[in-house]
Structure 1
Amino acid sequence: MLGEYFRLALVCALALLLIVASVTDLRARIISNRLNLTVAALAPLWWYASGLPLWPGVGVQLLAAFIVFSAFALLFALGCMGGGDVKLLGALALWFPWQATLSMLMLMALLGGGVTIVTVVHHRMTRRLGQPQIPYGIAISLAAMWLLGERYLNHFA
């Protein structure tokens, strides 16, 4: 029983961090390193609370996070994505099984398209100069929160 409350507290903490990431990315186009580090640092507590075995469980989580981070770091190098977004994705990949991480990335891409459209329309309506900066942290956070909520919402299905 206590373990379930601890897991729920960790899920709530992650959700709160994701909300903060969305708001700061929307307002300032920045997701802080401190926030990303906190998300990553809470993952081992999640592993422990979830009973994830050290091998192969934790090893697979670390490998998946490395692959996600590396793939999106390449997009950062090409100028397609912000550094905070890349670090947030890598940190989130520590939390979810690799299959769920793939689902999160697919949902993130769909939501990111919507965020991009809204941002470009707003940029043009306000007649701003230059290229708009897309607050992709919103799409990342919404996709991750969807996965977090799915565990509890599908429980009733």
Structure 2
Amino acid sequence: MFITLFVLIVFAVPLLIAAYTDFSTMKIPNKVSLAMAAGFFLTLPLHWQGLPVLGDHLLVGAFFLVAGFAMFAFGWLGGGDAKLMAAIGLWLGWPDMLPFILYTTLFGAALGVFLMLGSQFMPIRLRTSSVGMRLFQGGSDMPYGLALAAGALFIWPSSQINAALIG
């Protein structure tokens, strides 16, 4: 129980920090993604399943790093989002990758709809705050770290790594 709680904290806390900072500043600090990646390697002995599984985790992380920076190059994703996505990828195995992409996309779509329509329902005080102005200006910027964090936290209970921890 303690080990599962510890790993969940090491996994969830950086995600929550990334979501908060992306929402409030539209930036995800590098140290958040680095902390998440370091957390994976620090907890590796707790969920060790052998070199082939470790290789899968490294490949998923590398896949997300390449995909994230390709999306960054096209202007579809911010650099912080790309790095966070790669750090999340370290925690995922191949079976977890598609559910993560699906749920992150759904959360991202909901966030996009909220940003397009939500300002109509927000109190004027919130709309005119610095965060509200940044979010509801109608630009193409979106704090996608929220969707990444939501997708990762949503699939965590059914993930391979969580199953390995609880045995």
Q: Structure 2: how far apart are the matches of 1:62 and 1:123?
A: 40
State the partner residue of 1:24: 21
Q: Deviations 1:63-122 (Å, cap 9, x if unpaired)?
A: 111111101211100000011111111001111212112211111011100111111224
SS for the counterpart of 2:82 is helix
Report how many aligned residue pairs link the two structures.
148
Q: Kindly indicate whether residue 83 of structure 2 is the aligned counterpart of residue 87 of structure 1.
A: yes
* Aligned 8 A contact 2:15 2:149 in 1: yes
* 2:39 equivalent to 1:42: yes
Identical residues among aligned pairs (%): 26
Which runs of 4 or more aligned residues in structure 1 lie more than 3 Å from their structure 2 counterparts after TM superposition? 122-130, 149-152
**TM-score, length basis structure 2:** 0.79
Q: Letter of the aligned partner of 1:80 in structure 2?
A: W
More moved, 130-139 vs 115-124 = 115-124
Asked if the contact 2:60/2:92 (under 8 Å) is kept, the reply is: no
Structure 1 regions of 5+ residues with no counterpart?
153-157
> In the aligned structure 1, how far is the partner of 2:46 from the partner of 2:33?
20
Tell me how far 1:10 sits from its aligned partner: 1.5
**Is the aligned partner of 1:5 residue 2:2?**
yes
Match of 2:94 in 1: 98
TM-score, normalized by length of structure 1? 0.84
Specify the SS of the correspondent of 1:94. helix
Structure 1 pair 75–60 and aligned structure 2 pair: CA distance change class (3 A): same
1:130: how far off? 5.9
Aligned CA RMSD, in angstroms, stands at 2.1
